[in-house]
Structure 1
């Protein structure tokens, strides 16, 4: 489990295809603290560390992960948002994030405001957002501002833009979306009850 509070940015150092899998090698500020078999979220996607070599570590993404997330679009040198799993007893500063990306969204607008930047995202998926509800964009726990069918916006403060890969977003950028788990359970329960 994660909280959507990004710890650092990681850099793609190598990409190696292996049948339908892809091995990604990253570097980040705390590589020396990682362990093999550890779960680490990359752009909100929970992946397992399979190798560590000096300042670099490697993860493997299967075809399902590559199809459902933006990881298959990564290139050497790209920056990703990194978060290690939550320790029992830590504060839950964001919201409950599983690291199980639901779908890819597309940035439709970037609007500068006085003190914040508004990002508008569109998605083709059957889950919904609600105004003032939670959403995870590239692993970042955010509050939905405007919510419409398959479209929502969030406002980002300068600190978050600087310390995540939001500073690289422009119109057309593909992002990973994980919808709020509580909302998904409520939707499922309402569907069962008819």
Structure 2
């Protein structure tokens, strides 16, 4: 688990193809690595990866075909900057929100504009994720915990303050940039719980009939 508060910016040192998937060698930058051991989890652009080797510069992690297909890690090359966060402990301040490091989909930047001293970004997500994103709710973008300003269909916008622009890779976003999206854990599991017994049946999902039986006005 993570908090969505990026602890350092790293950089890909090497991308190594191994048997069809990939091993990334990552320079950890200012990430404090003395407490990291082999097998520990580190979020790289919001994707939970396992450290399989450690050295003075950073660590290496294997990226499965599943992760390559579902995240922007497929786009990383030597020199690419990345957001890094070590997994939280019971003594870690929860300054962001609970983040699993399990990316739901790839989103796209559709707008970037200055808003006072901050920046306003709008992102489009796949239609299937729109129901999980709510105004003033939480969303994780490339491992950064952010508050949703507003939602319009499958497009939502967030405000990025100067510190976040400097401390993360967001300053490099342009219209058309792809980003990793993880929706709020509570929203994801609440939908599954509402399904009740229907969740065990193929194709079982939230329907108007199901909501009506549970007292929701449809």
> The TM-score by the shorter chain falls in which range?
over 0.9
Q: Corresponding residue for 1:15?
A: 15
Alignment of 1:1-194 (within 5 A): 1-28=1-28, 29-30=30-31, 32-33=33-34, 34-127=36-129, 128-192=132-196, 194=210
Paired residues of 2:108 and 2:124 also in contact (CA < 8 A): yes
Unmatched segments (≥5 aa) in structure 1: none
Deviation at 1:115, TM superposition (A): 1.9
Unmatched segments (≥5 aa) in structure 2: 197-205, 211-218
Paired residues of 1:32 and 1:55 also in contact (CA < 8 A): no
Based on CA coordinates, which of the two structures has the bigger radius of gyration?
A: 2
Query: In structure 1, how many angstroms separate the alpha carbons of the residues matched to 2:58 and 2:41?
Result: 15
Across the aligned residues of Structure 1 and Structure 2, the Cα RMSD in angstroms comes to 1.3
**TM-score (normalised: structure 1):** 0.96
Paired residues of 1:142 and 1:154 also in contact (CA < 8 A): yes
Query: In structure 1, how many angstroms separate the alpha carbons of the residues matched to 2:127 and 2:78?
Result: 29
Query: In structure 2, how many angstroms separate the alpha carbons of the residues matched to 1:56 and 1:8?
Result: 12
Deviation at 1:21, TM superposition (A): 1.4
Query: In structure 2, how many angstroms separate the alpha carbons of the residues matched to 1:107 and 1:42?
Result: 19
Deviation at 1:31, TM superposition (A): 6.3
Paired residues of 1:143 and 1:154 also in contact (CA < 8 A): yes
Q: How many positions carry a matched residue from both structures?
A: 194
Query: In structure 1, how many angstroms separate the alpha carbons of the residues matched to 2:90 and 2:157?
Result: 31
Alpha carbons of 1:23 and 1:125: their partners in 2 closer, same or farther (altered >3 Å)? farther
Cα displacement string for residues 76-117 of structure 1 (whole angstroms, at most 9, x for unaligned residues): 111110000011122210001000000000000101111210
Deviation at 1:125, TM superposition (A): 4.5
